[in-house]
Structure 1
Amino acid sequence: MAIASLAAVLLLAGCGRSEDATAVPASSAGTSSGPLVLTALVWAPDWSEEMHRVADAFMHDHPDVRIDLQFMIGNSVEENLKPRAATDSLPDIISVNASPYTAELADQGMLADLGQTRAWNQLLDILQREWTAPGGRRYGIPSGVATTLIYYNRDMFERAGITAPPADFDAFLAAGAALRRAGFTPLALSGAFPNMLGNGPFSYGFANGIAAHVPDWRARITNGSLQLDNPQGIAIFSRLRALVEQKMVQADCLRAGYDATLNQFAEGRAAMTFQGTWAAGVLMHGRGMRVGVFVPPWNDRGQPIRPVLGSETGFAVAQRSSERHRAVAAQFLDFLYGPGMPLWQGKRQNIPPFRTIAADVKGDRALFALVEDMKRDAARDNAPGLYYSLLPVNTIEVLHTQLQAVLAGSTTPARAARTLQDSIAEQASLAGK
């Protein structure tokens, strides 16, 4: 899943298409010695089965192609990419984020240009800019527009006497107290999966505490001058800690992984969860539940909520592959975002990244409308919050440990803020050498 004018994206009309210059007839893909084998390393923590179905459908249509599909593990895309990039051994098809790290890989010539694919030419203009490296290479295609939201059980809210979603952080804590009194666990949080702590509480804390007051925060991250050892930076972590201290989260929060948290909410064992739009298909249709969504109110009382907007993890093609491998890999991406898209979007029901969204695309229209409102707010304020993949890649790993340490109470918010500030400065210094 941080772009200055993402709010305008769905105001764009028309669907640009181009001929698929990368398409290769199936009969020319393999050779007499056997099929062409594409290696793929994919980040799909909650849709691996659907990715297998897409690959199987593509191979059915292209019998001379085989896809060796493997899935990333761990806490982030970047920790899977770094060792392979360092040894110049990237698979043919790889999951990537729109980030300075991935853009640098593209500028180093390690990722292919996807500008001639149909999928690229259907992307929202703002996403095309986000997924273009400084050197001009169009290096990836996102699987959707992304943000994280609070999903909530409307029936539990009503039974707790909560008549409207909270509008600021103090009201959010008060809603949690009301839910506890009614006998409910207020919030399911993935404490054992720091990726979601970064995408969720950290990004919204940064959006409302830092981005709202430091317009040039991007430049300050790049040059290492961003100050976080101040009340605003410390508040990012103290609000995360408050979720534990105020008994907002489930008892096993520190052991709860991604799937466990999704299930806890979908099965009606928690009133809220902090989760991405990419999980809407699971969360909006719990077991007979009426589910709503609201923007995480990480703002102070009387201040507007700052949105966090970006793009989901997407896909790239390795340049190191042969020209024939690159062409067929790009053809697979066009299949993934074309005939194969209903196979995975039907489960995920996320926000498609295209200029024109088909009328029959699956998804909750209230969720789509909320994201539209967030985009308008971002355009008005010209300051969407940090989508945390924009941090330096090594700083992301530092942040993961600090978020979990704060949640566990093994470090203080002030110490975590200082550690994060030092890491940003250190990475800027190393980048300048």
Structure 2
Amino acid sequence: MWSCRQEERVQSDEAAPARTTITALIWAPDWPEEMLRIAAGFSELNPDVHVNVQFMIGNSVEENIKPRIASGNLPDIVSVNPNAYSAELADQGVLADVRDTAAWRNMLGPLKNDWTSRQGRAFGISGGVATTLVYYNETMFAKAGIHSPPTNFREFLAVCEQLKRAGFTPIMWNGGFPNMLGNGPFGSGFADNVVAREPDWKRKMADGTLDLNTPEVADIFAKIALVAQRGYVQDAYMATGYDDGIRLFKEGKVAMAFHGSWAAGLLLHGNGFETGVMIPPWNAPGERPVPIIGSETGFAVCETANRAASLRFLDYIAGGGFAVLQQKRQNIAPFVQTPTTMASDPKIVGYMKMVNSYPVTSSPYYSVLPSNSIERLHRLMQDVLLKKTTPKQAAKLLDESVKNEAKMHYK
């Protein structure tokens, strides 16, 4: 009897299909539950593949990827930014070419250049069409006697003062999560102070000829510090993390939040007040602002033994899985619109249409700076806020970092 049961068990094991486990290392600071649902949905439709989801921590995608590459412990699918670092990984054979996937074919044409390496490899897909903007509490503005949003930095400071006098905290600063300082005030400062003045800034940054040791770049850091020095930010702002900042705005404890379109679902809905959106007023009076438009952090497939299964998962993320993200995030879909990707908030849709008409736009900071310079920038912004470094010193150190990266990698 024992031997018969043993034989039956062996036959049953042999009949069971082999199951592949793929590891997904994902940047999802505000949508971890959705990512788990996407993985579960994929495995339900593809029972031969199990997705082991691991979440990135810290302040940037790159600081999570670099140790894995150094140790040879590659995930099968990974969140990446559309920048020179990711493109170089593709040209080195670390990231797979995804050009033959449905996800790549369905991505909006203008975004594909962001995700193409120097050697012409399609190294990933976008997680959304990204823009950074200022969300504001219309009720607080009205109570403070503010009838229209500011259109330049001088007006912004005046609005902050008016809000402060009315008993409100004007704006939220993510001092404990410098990624958002980079996406917010640094990114807009770079757009208005550098991009507006130098049309060839991308090439010059890549080859090390863009001068960032300037009064204009020092001014970017000075504005970040000035807003805090005047008491326009929340208490304990240097300890405010990503979720904390969103909660402060939603609970009506701050009047404005500098954030991305990816957080539209959280920042525009479920509040006890109407929320408006505005182009960040970081420009000087009389000058037109330079909005930020580009690709959001997206997804790539690594060249591992599980490449085929990972490419299938990538297509699912961009297909049925993307609807799960849209339900919460309501950002702008990076793919050809279908009924399942039409959940974008109308305010964000209108905002994007408006800024797309601007003659000059900039890219998100994570696709502007070299990866090591991103990490350097995070520390510099925090040090400026803590008065350990002056804005002028910060500009000089950032310039040195960017030029050093160009010297090491530009060919």
- Settle same-fold status: TM greater than 0.5: yes
Shift of 1:374: 1.0
Aligned 8 A contact 1:207 1:386 in 2: no
Q: Secondary structure at 1:409's aligned position in 2? A: coil
Deviations 1:152-188 (A, max 9, x none): 0101100111111100001001101111111111101
Query: Would you say 1:365 and 2:346 are equivalent positions?
Result: yes
- Say whether the 8 Å CA contact 2:221–2:381 is kept in structure 1: yes
Q: CA deviation at 1:392?
A: 1.2
Quick check: 2:279–2:291 contact (8 Å CA) kept in 1? yes
Question: Which residue is equivalent to 1:47?
Answer: 31
In structure 2, the partner of 1:115 is 99
Q: Is the 8 A contact 1:194 1:403 kept in 2?
A: yes
Q: Where do residues 212-361 of structure 1 align in structure 2 (5 Å cutoff)?
A: 212-319=196-303, 321-322=304-305, 325-356=306-337, 358=339, 361=342
Deviation at 1:285, TM superposition (A): 1.0
Q: CA deviation at 1:49?
A: 0.5
Q: How many residues align?
A: 398
CA contact (8 A) 1:309 1:387 kept: no
CA distance in 2, matches of 1:241, 1:361: 39
Other-structure match for 2:181: 197
Q: CA deviation at 1:389?
A: 3.0
Structure 2, unmatched stretches of 5+, are: 1-13
Alignment partner of 1:328: what SS?
helix
Equivalent residue of 1:38, what SS?
strand
**1:116-166 Cα deviation digits (max 9, x unpaired):** 211111111111111011111111011100011100010110011111110
How far 1:288 moved relative to its partner? 2.3
Equivalent in the alignment of 1:421: 399
Q: CA deviation at 1:385?
A: 5.0
- The alpha-carbon deviation at position 360 of structure 1 amounts to 6.8
> Could you tell me which amino acid in structure 2 is paired with residue 278 of structure 1?
W
1:55-81 CA-partner distances (Å, limit 9, x unpaired): 111111222211111000010000011
Specify the alignment match of 2:3 in structure 1. none
SS in structure 2 at match of 1:315: strand
Report which stretch shifted further, 294-303 or 61-70: 61-70
Counterpart secondary structure, 1:340: helix
Choose from 128, 131, 135 the match for 2:115.
131
Deviates more, 1:253-262 or 1:362-371: 362-371
> Following TM superposition, by how much is the alpha carbon of 1:390 offset from its aligned partner in structure 2, in angstroms?
2.3
Kindly indicate whether the alpha-carbon contact (under 8 Å) linking 1:37 and 1:65 is maintained by their aligned counterparts in 2: yes
Aligned counterparts, 1:175-214, within 5 A: 175-214=159-198
> SS of 1:141's equivalent?
coil
Q: The residue matched to 1:415 in structure 2 has which SS?
A: helix
1:372-411 → structure 2 map (5 Å cutoff): 372-377=353-358, 380-381=359-360, 383-385=361-363, 387-411=365-389
The answer to whether the Cα contact below 8 Å between 1:281 and 1:350 also exists between their aligned partners in 2 is yes
SS class of match (2:73): coil
Structure 1 contact 204–385 (Cα < 8 Å) conserved: no
Aligned residue for 2:8? none
- Does residue 140 of structure 1 match 2:124? yes
CA RMSD of aligned residues (A): 1.7
Q: Partners in 2 of 1:338 and 1:355 — Cα distance?
A: 10
CA contact (8 A) 1:211 1:386 kept: no
Instruction: Give, in whole Å, the separation in 2 of the partners of 1:99 and 1:345.
Output: 24
What is the CA deviation profile of residues 238-286 of structure 1, one whole-angstrom value per residue up to 9, with x for unaligned ones?
1111111121111111000000000000111111101111011000014
Which amino acid in 2 is paired with 1:126? Answer: P
Deviation at 1:373?
A: 1.3
Distance 1:63 1:424 in 2: 46
Query: 415-424 vs 110-119, which deviates more?
Result: 110-119
Amino acid at match of 1:410: K
Deviation at 1:421, TM superposition (A): 0.6
Normalising by structure 2, we get a TM-score of 0.93
Residue type of the alignment partner of 2:367: S
CA gap 1:429/1:307 in 2 versus in 1, 3 angstroms: same
TM-score, length-normalised on structure 1? 0.89
What is the aligned-residue identity percentage? 47
Q: AA paired with 1:176? A: C
The one-letter code of the counterpart of 2:392 is A
Unaligned runs of 5+ in 1: 1-29
Residue in 1 aligned with 2:158? Answer: 174
CA contact (8 A) 2:331 2:348 kept: no
By how many angstroms is 1:32 displaced? 5.0
Distance 2:299 2:385 in 1: 32
Name the structure, 1 or 2, with higher relative contact order (CA <8 Å, separation 6+): 1
Counterparts of 1:189 and 1:422, CA distance in 2: 26
Aligned residue for 1:304, secondary structure, equals coil
Distance in 1 of aligned mates of 2:259 and 2:171 = 11
Q: Which digits, 9 at most, give the CA deviation of each residue in 1:79-116, with x for residues without a partner?
A: 01111223333210100000000000001111111112
CA distance in 1, matches of 2:15, 2:34: 29
Which moves more between the two structures, 161-170 or 239-248? 239-248
Q: Could you tell me which residue of structure 1 aligns to residue 10 of structure 2?
A: none
Which AA in structure 1 matches 2:259? Q
Deviation at 1:357, TM superposition (A): 5.2
- Asked if the contact 1:227–1:233 (Cα under 8 Å) also holds between the matched residues in 2, the reply is no
**Whole-angstrom CA distance in 1 between matches of 2:110 and 2:402:** 26
Provide the residue aligned with 1:63 in structure 2.
47
**2: distance between equivalents of 1:359 and 1:304?**
36
| Residues 346-372 of structure 1, C-alpha deviations (whole Å, 9 max, x = no match) | 001111002335487223212211111
